[in-house]
Amino acid sequence: MTALHDPYLAAVERTDPEIFGLIQEEERYQRDSIRLIPSENYTSRAVMEATGTVLANKYSEGYPGKRYYEGQRNVDLLETIVQDRAKVLFGVQHANVQPYSGSPANLAVYFALLQPGETIMGLTLPHGGHLTHGWAVSATGRFWKSHPYEVDRETHLIDFDQVRKVALEARPRIIVAGGTAYPRTYHFEQFGEIAREVGAYLLADISHIAGLVVAGAHPDPVPHADVVVTTTHKTLRGPRGAMIMCKAEHAEAIDKAVFPGLQGGPHENTIAGIGVALHEAATPEFRAYGHQIVANAKALAEALLERGFDLITGGTDTHLILIDLTGKKVIGKTAAQALDRAGIVGNYNTIPFDTRRPFSPSGLRIGTPSVTSRGMKEPEMRRIAAWMDEALTNVKDEAALDRVAHEVRDFCVAFPAPGLGV
């Protein structure tokens, strides 16, 4: 059993120095930079360890008690425990913890509940929806009809009079509430009312906000949605994966759609990591974490507004901020590159009704899950806003960007990131 007592990654170093080197480089990068990509996070060491275990050696097609292979005694117990943790934490009747990631999870939901050619009504991608909410290049837009809703042209908020109007027109089979670049509260109750009025299912895709939901820092979709999908690796702070949660009446259809409908053997090593993450998410510390994510996002938004940045919807209710750079005379891509050079990582993004093209949009999307995992609080958000301002007013000035990068690196030392081995 010596391998178990090896120092971190020692076997990778011995076997494959090339891969080892890149992992180390990435660790340094994650340690020394301020990571503001709102879909990313730092998992705990416990989550990472559980994910990298002998469970990766298993084949377990099927579900606990109904497998197609022998030798499942440990895996059956494991997957049942993880399902039960999801059910308790989210207050749902059924949980499928096998989806490989968020995109296949959404595909499975449509496959379970819709006939090909029926209509999906999600938030349009350029306004913050996800590809898998029916966007044309996604399989979800090929096999189903897409009739999206938009945010309001003036406020950039989801306006429920408009959502209702679109729903009455489109008569969708499913309405999707959720997104990737919408900085405000998702009002699931109102989505639920509209879905019931038009005879549609409501899918709450809480991939981004699941950690906020379990912390009580965002309204709960469960009473209003037929199905709730979440990735496990964003604010929920688990390994890369996803879960589908639903009312008991849909359990069989959902399970069949995941396996054998779309997937083969589940990644039980990932499921173990999800189990550890759910265990962590049930603690008072995680509850505080979820609330601090939002407090930090609000503080960061406030500080950016004071520095003359335009924010879509004027701020945030969640972990996410969408900056409109139109008035700053710098485009999203240039901004994101300059920030990365300065040790601050965000991503360029379209803004609603963007006049620029998707490959070079006017927006910058940032968020606070990762910095909050490092224990940063409101005063640190003000420091980050100042560095962002400095970098973005000096996008062509290598020396200025270098200076910020140095300061950022020194600053990061005081906030050790969970899970890192260096």
Active site residues: 59, 61, 205, 231, 234, 240
Least distance in angstroms from the C-beta of 129 to ligand PLP: 8
- Only one residue has tokens 């595909």, namely 107
Residues near ligand PLP, by CB under 6 A = 39, 101-103, 106, 130, 132, 178-180, 205, 207-208, 231
Which residues neighbour 112 within 8 Å (Cβ) at sequence distance 6 or greater?
A: 250, 253, 254, 256, 257, 261
Closest CA to 229 of 242, 212, 211, 238: 242
Is 381:299 a contact under the CB 8 Å cutoff? yes
Q: Which residue is nearest to ligand PLP (CB)?
A: 102
- 50 to 29, 47, 166: CA distances (angstroms): 23, 5, 45
Q: How many CA atoms lie within 13 A of 387 on its CB side?
A: 28
Q: Which of 208/224 has CB closer to ligand PLP?
A: 208
The radius of gyration computed from the CA coordinates of the chain, to the nearest angstrom, equals 22
In the complex with ligand PLP, the residue whose CB is nearer, 221 or 343, is 221
Of 80 and 101, the one with the shorter C-beta distance to ligand PLP is: 101
147 vs 167: CA distance, rounded Å: 9
Entry field: residues in the chain: 422
Residue whose structure tokens are 């910058």:
364
- Phi first, then psi: what are they for 320, rounded to 5°? -120, 140
The structure tokens 């520095």 sit at 307
Pick 39 or 124: Cβ nearer ligand PLP = 39
Cβ-contact 339, 323 below 8 angstroms: no
Q: How far is the CB of 140 from ligand PLP (least distance, A)?
A: 10
Pick the closer one to ligand PLP by CB: 72 or 373: 373
CB of 45 vs ligand PLP, minimal distance in Å: 22
Q: Which CB, 90 or 387, lies closer to ligand PLP?
A: 90
Q: Which residue has the tokens 């994101």?
A: 336
Minimum CB separation of residue 373 from ligand PLP in Å reads: 17
CA 315 to CA 301: how far, in whole Å? Answer: 6
* Contact partners, residue 254, CB within 8 Å, separation at least 6: 94, 96, 108, 109, 112, 227, 244, 246
Question: Minimum distance from CB of 231 to ligand PLP (Å)?
Answer: 5
CB of 25 to ligand PLP, least distance (A): 23
